[in-house]
Structure 1
Amino acid sequence: MKGLELSHKYYIEYGLPMIKEKFAEYEEHIAVGLVGPGSECYGFDDTISTDHDFGPSFCVWLTDEDFEKIGAELNYAYKGLPETFMGYKRIISAHGDGRVGVFRISDFYRKYTGKADASLTLEEWLFIPEHFLAEVTNGKVFRDNLGEFSKVRSLFLNYYPEDVRIKKIAARAATIAQSGQYNYSRCMRRTEIVAARLSLDEFIRNTLSMVYLLNKKYQPFYKWAFRGMETFDILAHTRKMIENLIFLPIQKEAWHKEDDVMWGHMLNMNDKVVELIESICDLIVKELLKQKLTDHTDSFLQNHTISIMSRIKNDKIRAMHVMAG
């Protein structure tokens, strides 16, 4: 059984009766759901996921005022609910405590974003770790009659302010070009294979981020980033291309010393990694053009960064280093 379904059933079986019996006066003020870190909040959980921080549980969110009145008592009642349900028992790892239970709404959002609500400056938006934003917008809210928790959640669900999204896209374009279209080949020419693989890793990580940004989706924790692309409409084909990059063997035989001068002036398409990198970048450029984020058509993404940055309306964000964010 998926963790979200288990959580909802557990709430209906035990949580709801507990609230109705012991906190009837505040029932309409109490928000309940399962949101935050953990594969179950994304729907990515499987049998392997059940070995830690998984099991019957849910989150309860209260306003500051209500928390002062019933927070401690509600938390005590929550911890008194059965530990085992439908054959599952929650196993908490050394760093997994605090994912579920009773929270102030303000504390929950402050933990991930630094603010009790979504009243962030553009700079604050720019530098919040993206997987934290994914964690406050994933999962499911089972009930929120008061609407205070969902009001803040909806603001984050609206995605980044456009200037922030554009700034991040410019930064990704610069790093994709630097790592994949430039440094990978230079490292291979020098037969610095480890450096080449690290350059390829940077290219893949930044390409994943770029695809999320162009889809207007927050990228989850790194191990779920590739999985999260399964439902994308924009640049969906890049997922298979990235997978092919991962499985390609080292292309050392494609680089010969006698060709060194030639490869200094043109792309070495004998290297299948180079070929895939350029194909992915071509697709990214087409999408940038489609979203009216660039005026150029060449495939080298570094040449698009000034055009992308020019779309930023806020002077302070536009003046930042191209790789900031």
Structure 2
Amino acid sequence: MHPHPRPDFIPGLDLSRILYEEAVRPILDSAYPGLRYAAARVGSGSEVLGFDSARSADHEWGPRLNLFLAPDEAAEHGAELRRLLAVRLPKHVRGWPTHFRRHDPEVPIGLMELTEGEVDHRVSVDDVGNWLRTELGVAAAEPSVRDWLAMPQQRLAEVTGGAVFHDGLDTHGLGGTLGAARARLAWYPDQVWRYLLACQWQRISQEEAFVGRCAEAGDDLGSAVVAGRLVRDLMRLCLLLERTYAPYSKWLGSAFARLAVAEELTPSLAGALAATEYPVRERHLGDAYEFVATLQNGTGLADPVDPARRPYHDRPFQVLHAERFAQALAATVTDPELRGLLLTGGVDQWADSTDFLGLTGPRRAAVDALALNVNVNVNVTRSP
């Protein structure tokens, strides 16, 4: 990729800050004095979540920046500003090229490359409202309940993560500031949070008995697969409890490892995954269930529920009966729109296709379709 040895790795957010402070800001000060803008590194990219490493430099990583202007100024100056940066940006920052080339026309992944001519840079120019519509399907206004349910946690993490290096936009006619939008989206409203927690417990309740049933049927592979699904759901539940958006699968374990509960809970989760015999798998899962159930009770969000494992009705499988926690949380949901919904949850609690979750319109259409199924009880009775 480079004609010379690759420079020492710099965390991507640090590299973006250097690009802004040493290259982009001087150009803006000279060519557009007084321009109101925000400069940040947000959106897609492992560096935005703090998970980048030297390996990340092989695609769409490097000196990248997001510039946000007022809507009218973005429309008026966006194209010329991008062109100006192509001409005046330095060829590299700390040894990392600012020019990105297309490695393969069939796979549009940007790779850094030194160039003698204009740079094909990765400094975007947009307005906050338009960017939010593209990323999340919402503008700067307060999201509705359905908006929240249609936004994948990965996207919310990308919008609220990263770093803002300068926010010079004011709120008078500019569609809101970047900082205000990020603060508004930093975490779910209380009622949405309670609903999503109930839905996550409901997911666990639907499969917790299958680990034993598969093993009883002689399907140890199936038992292990279901256990893996339950471990994933418990990890995502812990992220919800600690008010942390869950990233997609590549970074789920990395995000979980940062949680306060990770050190104590990980041995049980890892034990369930590593177990080659059902009794060991069941024991580790039971330990994990009881640990997370105790965490849930400690939040005070709902009436406490006995966190002890127990038989699955008259079958010899030890489970939590997680629907009890779903019921307790659902009883605290007072928002009329949420109370009428099935316990299916947000879009990434019932869909995990990366391609689908990247499509704003279909996501929202699916959430709207589910919302039509109101006042139906499925495996859980809500308190009046």
Counterpart Cα distance in 1 of 2:264 and 2:134: 35
Name whichever structure is richer in helix by fraction.
1
TM superposition shift of 1:240: 4.0
Which residue pairs with 1:88 in the alignment? 96
Which residue pairs with 2:69 in the alignment? 62
Change (3 A) 1:40 1:240: farther
Q: Give unmatched runs, 5+ long, in structure 1.
A: 255-270
Q: Per-residue CA shift, 1:285-322, capped at 9, x if unaligned?
A: 11111112243214421222211100101122123222
Are 1:217 and 2:224 an aligned pair?
no
Question: What SS class does the counterpart of residue 24 from structure 1 fall into?
Answer: coil
Which residue pairs with 1:107 in the alignment? 130
TM superposition shift of 1:221: 2.3
* Structure 2 residue corresponding to 1:250, chosen from 276, 280, 283: 276
Are 1:162 and 2:190 an aligned pair?
yes
- TM-score normalised by the chain length of structure 2: 0.73
Question: What SS class does the counterpart of residue 219 from structure 1 fall into?
Answer: coil
**8 Å Cα contact 1:170-1:309 kept in structure 2:** yes
Corresponding residue pairs, total: 302
> Structure 2 matches for 1:212-291, cutoff 5 A?
212-234=239-261, 236-246=263-273, 248-251=274-277, 254=278, 271-291=279-299
TM superposition shift of 1:118: 4.6
Are 1:144 and 2:167 an aligned pair?
yes
**8 Å Cα contact 1:37-1:99 kept in structure 2:** no
Which residue pairs with 1:259 in the alignment? none
Counterpart Cα distance in 2 of 1:101 and 1:130: 23
Which residue pairs with 2:209 in the alignment? 182
Which residue pairs with 2:370 in the alignment? none
Question: What SS class does the counterpart of residue 34 from structure 2 fall into?
Answer: helix
Greater relative contact order structure (CA < 8 Å, 6+ sep): 1
Counterpart Cα distance in 2 of 1:134 and 1:202: 22
Q: Tell which deviates more after alignment, 146-155 or 132-141.
A: 146-155
TM superposition shift of 1:187: 0.9
* Structure 1 residue corresponding to 2:37, chosen from 30, 34, 58: 30
Counterpart Cα distance in 2 of 1:106 and 1:127: 17
Change (3 A) 1:42 1:298: closer
**8 Å Cα contact 1:229-1:236 kept in structure 2:** no
**8 Å Cα contact 1:15-1:78 kept in structure 2:** yes
**8 Å Cα contact 1:166-1:308 kept in structure 2:** yes
Tell me the amino acid that sits aligned with residue 13 of structure 2: L
**8 Å Cα contact 1:229-1:239 kept in structure 2:** no
Backbone CA RMSD of aligned residues = 2.1
Name whichever structure is richer in strand by fraction.
2
Q: Which runs of 4+ in 1 moved over 3 A?
A: 90-100, 243-246
Counterpart Cα distance in 2 of 1:127 and 1:241: 32
Q: Give unmatched runs, 5+ long, in structure 2.
A: 1-9, 111-120, 171-176, 309-319, 347-384
Tell me the amino acid that sits aligned with residue 9 of structure 1: I
TM superposition shift of 1:233: 2.4
Tell me the amino acid that sits aligned with residue 112 of structure 1: E
Counterpart Cα distance in 1 of 2:256 and 2:123: 27
**8 Å Cα contact 1:118-1:155 kept in structure 2:** no
Which residue pairs with 1:7 in the alignment? 16
Counterpart Cα distance in 2 of 1:118 and 1:200: 41
Query: What percentage of aligned pairs have identical amino acids?
Result: 22
Are 1:297 and 2:297 an aligned pair?
no
**8 Å Cα contact 1:106-1:116 kept in structure 2:** yes
Which residue pairs with 1:316 in the alignment? 337
Tell me the amino acid that sits aligned with residue 180 of structure 2: K
Are 1:196 and 2:219 an aligned pair?
no
